[in-house]
Amino acid sequence: MASGLLFLLLLGIGGNIFSEARSAKRLILCEHSNAKLKCGHGQVIQVHSANYGRHDRSTCSFRRPFYELLNVHCSRPTYLVAQSCNGRRSCIVSASNSVFGDPCYGTYKYLQVVYSCRSTRSHRWCPSGWTLFHNRCVKFYHTGHRWCPSGWTPFHNRCVKVPHPGYHHCPSGWTKRGRHCFLFLNIEQPWDSAENYCRILGGHLASFHSYSDLSFLRTLVYRGSGSFRNTWVGGTDRLQNRVWRWTDGSRYNYNHWYPGEPNNDRGREECMEINFRGSDRNNDEKCYVRRPFICARRR
């Protein structure tokens, strides 16, 4: 039972992937306000989850009209806090539509961040619930009737390799290209869940910066699925409409859109997929749509 719960948390279904970590801290920041995340000497920030929206009527409710508190199903998981703060001793975060967009117009929102401070003395660090053993993060998982070997993690009845600290080669199942390792997961997930899972594996959804890069990603999809399936990559324009960025922080310097795209149909298409209609072109799609995805991490 406990392992099943951990499996659900690992998928990021609830958003607070590591909220049970003993050292985790929780920050609630009301809309239109700023706060500073700060760690002590010799420590850096590790953001485990961040969500901008509203989940109850009591949080950040002081002197707010009742109609601004009614929508408690307003949620926008965001990687932007982690992108800005991870690896730094301190950073400023803002709860604002100008940063995260507006997931629910007319609702007074708040930003919820779960983070911890980790030591900079060693790069040998394992996520909550894992154990460092001979320079790798290990744990046995059981889902249904499937056991995964130590150092692997189950994902929809598959065992997926988790890279261990200090590892400078690509883990088994990953494909090397340049300074990065790539993994195609032929498992359909919403874009946010896909990005969260790639972060658990030490990376982000894949980016590309040339047609050669794009062709490489398409080849991974074809080898893994037998066709050119529509597949999530790390492009998004959530921060500013039609200003596309990569979740890995790399420069967005190459376009290969399908004719007429991106069109932001009904103002809700903020995430990028490749292989649109089986072609070598990209498309903007609604982020809640389920797609297989490609993760990338540095070697």
Q: Round to whole Å and give the CA distance between 72 and 29.
A: 16
- Domain assignment present for residue 195? The answer is yes
Looking at the structure, do residues 117 and 34 belong to the same domain, yes or no?
yes
pLDDT of residue 141: 47
- Domain assignment present for residue 194? The answer is yes
Q: Round to whole Å and give the CA distance between 298 and 250.
A: 12
Summarize pLDDT for 271-295 with one digit per residue, the tens.
999 999 999 999 999 999 999 999 9
Provide, rounded to the nearest whole percent, the portion of the chain with pLDDT above 90.
39
Looking at the structure, do residues 59 and 138 belong to the same domain, yes or no?
no
Looking at the structure, do residues 193 and 283 belong to the same domain, yes or no?
yes
pLDDT band at 160 (very low <50, low <70, confident <90, very high): low
Ranges of beta strands (E only) in 190-282 are 204-205, 231-236, 245-246, 269-274
Who's near 145: CB < 8 A, 6+ residues apart?
Answer: none
State the alpha helices, DSSP H only, in 74-187: 80-85, 97-100
Cα–Cα distances in angstroms (integers) from residue 287 to residues 187, 199, 275, in the given order: 15, 17, 16
pLDDT of residue 143: 45
pLDDT band at 77 (very low <50, low <70, confident <90, very high): confident
Looking at the structure, do residues 148 and 188 belong to the same domain, yes or no?
no
Q: Give the mean model confidence (pLDDT) for residues 6-12.
A: 32
- Domain assignment present for residue 241? The answer is yes
Looking at the structure, do residues 179 and 113 belong to the same domain, yes or no?
no
- Domain assignment present for residue 19? The answer is no
Who's near 169: CB < 8 A, 6+ residues apart?
Answer: 176, 299
Looking at the structure, do residues 191 and 283 belong to the same domain, yes or no?
yes
Looking at the structure, do residues 200 and 291 belong to the same domain, yes or no?
yes
Residue 144 has pLDDT above 60, yes or no: no
- Domain assignment present for residue 17? The answer is no
- Domain assignment present for residue 155? The answer is yes
Q: Are 46 and 118 in contact (CB under 8 A)?
A: yes
pLDDT of residue 119: 77
Q: Are 129 and 138 in contact (CB under 8 A)?
A: no
Summarize pLDDT for 87-108 with one digit per residue, the tens.
788 888 889 887 888 888 899 9
Residue 260 has pLDDT above 50, yes or no: yes
- Which residue type is seen at 286? K
Looking at the structure, do residues 149 and 93 belong to the same domain, yes or no?
no
Residue 61 has pLDDT above 50, yes or no: yes
Q: Are 18 and 26 in contact (CB under 8 A)?
A: no
Give Cα 225 distance to the centre of its chain: 23
15-29, 36-50, 182-196, 237-251: least confident range: 15-29
Count: domains in the chain: 3
Provide, rounded to the nearest whole percent, the portion of the chain with pLDDT above 70.
75
- Which CATH number characterizes residue 276's domain? 3.10.100.10
Looking at the structure, do residues 150 and 81 belong to the same domain, yes or no?
no
Looking at the structure, do residues 211 and 290 belong to the same domain, yes or no?
yes
Cα–Cα distances in angstroms (integers) from residue 244 to residues 24, 30, 81, 109, 251, in the given order: 32, 27, 17, 24, 10
Looking at the structure, do residues 157 and 189 belong to the same domain, yes or no?
no
Range of the domain at 148: 131-161
pLDDT of residue 152: 63
The pair of three-digit structure tokens given for residue 255, joined into one six-digit string: 């376009």
Higher pLDDT, 127 or 111: 111
- Which CATH number characterizes residue 83's domain? 2.60.120.740
- Domain assignment present for residue 252? The answer is yes
Summarize pLDDT for 203-236 with one digit per residue, the tens.
899 999 999 999 999 999 998 888 899 999 999 9
- Domain assignment present for residue 11? The answer is no
Residue 137 has pLDDT above 70, yes or no: no
Q: Round to whole Å and give the CA distance between 190 and 201.
A: 17
Looking at the structure, do residues 157 and 222 belong to the same domain, yes or no?
no
Provide the mean pLDDT of the chain: 79
Q: Are 123 and 72 in contact (CB under 8 A)?
A: no
Residue 24 has pLDDT above 60, yes or no: yes
